[in-house]
Amino acid sequence: MALCLSGMNTEILPPAPKPIALRTLLIISGLFWVYVTLSNVLYATNMQFSAALYHADDMFAPWEVRVVQHVLLLPLLLTCYWASSRAGWGMLRGLPLQLLLAVIFAVLCDPAMNLAVHLCTWYFKGHWQDPAMVAEPSGAEQAEWSASFISFFLTYGFGVALVSGFNWYQLHRDSELRGAALERVWTTARLTALRMQLSPHTLFNLLHTIRGQINPEPEIARSMVVQLADLLRRLLSAGQRDFSLLSEELSFARMYLELQQQRFGDRLTVSLPDAGAQPALWVPSLILQPLVENAVLHGLAGHDGPVEIRLEVRLSTDRLIMRVVNTTASLAVVAGEGIGLSNVRERLAVQFGARASFSAYRAGPTSWMAEIAMPALLERAPAPPGAGTS
């Protein structure tokens, strides 16, 4: 499933977890059975050498017979493991089926040995093995069958544990990958929604500012429309990215504040650092705009005196500090966070987690400060915690 949103890359989610693939089952089971074959052959050969010292030469079947036995059992093993991977491990249905498959496989191992003896006799001697020649003493046949059943029952169980363990690991890994992909999509969609929320809010306030100048000062209003068009072009461009250069953010803040100065004239004084002199650091797109907008709106509210807005940028080791300070009325009531400041706080939390902080507070009787502290990013679009880049 692909999720496409404006302003972010397409994220392809991994498929939902499925039972172990047939090819994987064949590879794991095949390698496991080769190991079992070699270990059984080596064990039987070693024990036969030891038994020969006591003149018990026919205690163990020859190595070629054991190899043929295991070759004959391989299709049955693969079939049982395939059915086991589909049966599951439920108490009412899964466990009885698992036990039944193990018993079926273990029961058929001794007949597979007898068939291997006949095939090897026919291949090497040109005739089938005479049953009378392989007759065993009373009780020996049952003992041989019991030993074969127990040995291969335990071997089968070990193989099931190996296949099931790999399958569970694969499902867990796929689930983690799918969860990480979903979290990346969700985080990117959330950031996109925050940027979309910010842009109409900014546009509304700017249009309201221009509207107030149309009748009393139409020339200023026309000039502001031109500036607004340039500002909107940058706003749309920045809204498509998660991160922008610090110099671009400062230039954008300056354009916005110059628009407000057109309206309020000498009443509004602005002090900003030189955008061209800033280091090549990356910051979240449009992160300063809500702060300067809040400084204008709340700084001018409640009085008719002059307002100074000062934007400060300070780089300290690997931390970038950005402050917006504005003067306010001495008796101005501190309001709660509006949409702009809440937007800033949430975006920093999504993109940086605990590595960034945002605070807004009264810094004196007639001043208000909003401060962002975040990592100094020399590379574009770092991955937020648990999310990818866009």
**Three-state DSSP string of 31-89:** HHHHHHHHHHHHHHHHHHHHHHCCCCCCCCCCHHHHHHHHHHHHHHHHHHHHHHHHHCC
What average pLDDT does the chain have?
Answer: 78
- What single string gives the DSSP state of each residue in 321-337? EEEEEEE--TTPPPPPP
**Residue 359: which of 347, 346, 349, 372 has the closest Cα?**
372
Q: Is 126 exposed, middle or buried (0-12, 13-18, 19+ CB in 10 A)?
A: exposed
- End-to-end Cα distance, the chain: 18
Alpha carbons within 13 angstroms on the beta-carbon side of residue 372 total: 29
State the pLDDT confidence band at 192, using cuts at 50, 70 and 90.
low
User: Which residues of the chain does CATH 3.30.565.10 include?
Assistant: 215-375
* pLDDT tens per residue, range 322-368: 999 999 877 666 556 677 788 888 888 888 889 999 999 888 888 89
Question: Cα–Cα distance between 283 and 380 in angstroms, integer?
Answer: 9
The answer to whether 144 and 152 are in contact (CB under 8 A) is no
**pLDDT above 80: residue 232:** no
**pLDDT above 90: residue 386:** no
Question: Cα–Cα distance between 292 and 323 in angstroms, integer?
Answer: 10
Topology adopted by domain 215-375:
Heat Shock Protein 90 (3.30.565)
Which residue spans within the chain are E strands per DSSP?
A: 2-3, 11-12, 243-245, 268-271, 282-284, 307-316, 319-327, 357-364, 367-375
* pLDDT tens per residue, range 165-187: 888 888 888 778 777 777 666 66
Say which range, 145-154, 188-197, 339-348, has the weakest mean pLDDT: 188-197
The answer to whether 51 and 59 are in contact (CB under 8 A) is yes
